[in-house]
Amino acid sequence: MVDVQADPLESLRKRTSEKWVSYPPDVLPLFVAEMDYPLAPVIAEALIDRVRASDTGYVAGPLPAGEAFAGFAERRWGWVVDPERVRTTTDVSVGIVESLRRAIQPGDGIVINPPVYPPFFDLVREAGGALVEVPLLDDGNEYGLDLDGIERAFVGGARAILICNPQNPVGHVHPRSQLAALAELAARYDVTVVSDEIHSLLTHSTATFTPFLSVSDAAREQGVAVTSASKAFNLAGVKCALMVAASDRSLALLDGMSVEVGWRTSILGLHASVAALTHGDDWLDGTIAAIEASNALLAGLLAQHLPEVGYRPPSASYLGWLDFSALGWSDDPSIRALAAKVALNAGPSFGTQGGGFARLNFACAPDVLTEAVTRLAQAARR
Ligand SMILES: Cc1ncc(COP(=O)(O)O)c(C=O)c1O
């Protein structure tokens, strides 16, 4: 396995991405979902190779990415994907909006399950839908989809549901049984399921990711998966995402989109994604190992220095959902955190369930994480 380590802060501060230009240098940026690890060499080489060849025109079609993703899905999850049923687009957000737009009539209800990735609220509106919130269930130990609440929303006329598997920000990997039950409900009420699986490539070794389209015929009939190599390989800026269908019905939904949706894929993004999905397994395993180590470090640091903060370590990806309510840091603890020179994401932006919470990105070096928790702990004692 490759030993993946975060770049030092001096090099990171030379990056021009949102993470590194939004705050002054005395702030540790642990907010937006970008990782501090370097690009996998195999991806860097693919990009440099295409740039050297001046190969920066329009994409010719989705097939290379479809083939690369089908290989990846079979190796990693035993999921058989037909490359001919994969389409590309600019990014996962665009894939979600365009899928939802095709699935509903303007004004129809679209279900989301907060706390969830904040742009979901906007993507539903951008697709012309009306938000129907059915919050995640949380018994204090386990999260879960509220299938009864979802059924009530379907009975009430919602025409689509946008799920997040694994769920950002809580890092919950939805179990097969719940996904299968959701697919049955979707079939019964003829609802389209759009499954955002962008974090699935970063499922930890302690958990098993189940692709929605692999659970049943009902799921294949009702569902579309939208995913990307971008979270796992830090490729958000090169713009390529995959929309996957597994039935004639869902393929018709993808192919009913305007052709521009596919043309807006970046050719550099396509080549980077093909390289990642074809040759990136070792690097990905190293990245997951680094993330798991960071997850354990964060849990230990919080237990030692900030025991008032509630933390249930995620089973996928690198986002920690921290409950500051016992500290009384108001509805939005990221304000106090920023005063302590640590930039976190505001919990309430993930839905009202996020009051008292903040999200911390721990895909960083151990010393950065240690310093961040130290600063937060000092602020708590002040
Ligand atoms: C659940 C989820 N979906 C979508 C995105 C955005 O993906 P993209 O940049 O491909 O639109 C993110 C980014 O963090 C995310 O966490």
For residue range 20-45, what is the model confidence (pLDDT) as tens digits?
999 999 999 999 999 999 999 999 99
- The C-alpha angle 24, 322, 39, rounded to 5 degrees, equals 55
Is residue 159 a contact partner of residue 110, using CB atoms and an 8 Å limit? Answer: yes
Could you give the CA distance from residue 214 to residue 221 in angstroms, rounded to a whole number? 11
Reference 166, options 114, 101, 211, 132; nearest CA is: 211
For residue range 196-211, what is the model confidence (pLDDT) as tens digits?
999 999 999 999 999 9
Q: Is 235 in the pocket of ligand 1 (CB under 6 A)?
A: no
Could you give the CA distance from residue 368 to residue 13 in angstroms, rounded to a whole number? 13
Instruction: Give the three-state DSSP class for 22.
Output: coil
Reference 230, options 186, 287, 269, 204; nearest CA is: 269
Is residue 356 a contact partner of residue 324, using CB atoms and an 8 Å limit? Answer: yes
Q: Is 167 in the pocket of ligand 1 (CB under 6 A)?
A: no
Flag residues of the chain having pLDDT under 50: none
Question: Which residues are paired to 192 by β-bridges?
Answer: 160
pTM for the whole structure: 0.98
Q: Is 33 in the pocket of ligand 1 (CB under 6 A)?
A: yes
Question: Domain extents for the chain?
Answer: 9-39+281-381, 44-279
The domain made up of 9-39+281-381 has a fold known as Aspartate Aminotransferase, domain 1 (3.90.1150)
pLDDT at position 382: 85
Which atom belonging to ligand 1 lies closest to the Cα atom of 319? 16
pLDDT at position 1: 85
**What DSSP state is assigned to residue 23?**
S
Virtual torsion, Cα 126, 199, 242, 22, nearest 10 deg: 60
Could you give the CA distance from residue 312 to residue 323 in angstroms, rounded to a whole number? 9
The domain made up of 44-279 has a fold known as Aspartate Aminotransferase; domain 2 (3.40.640)
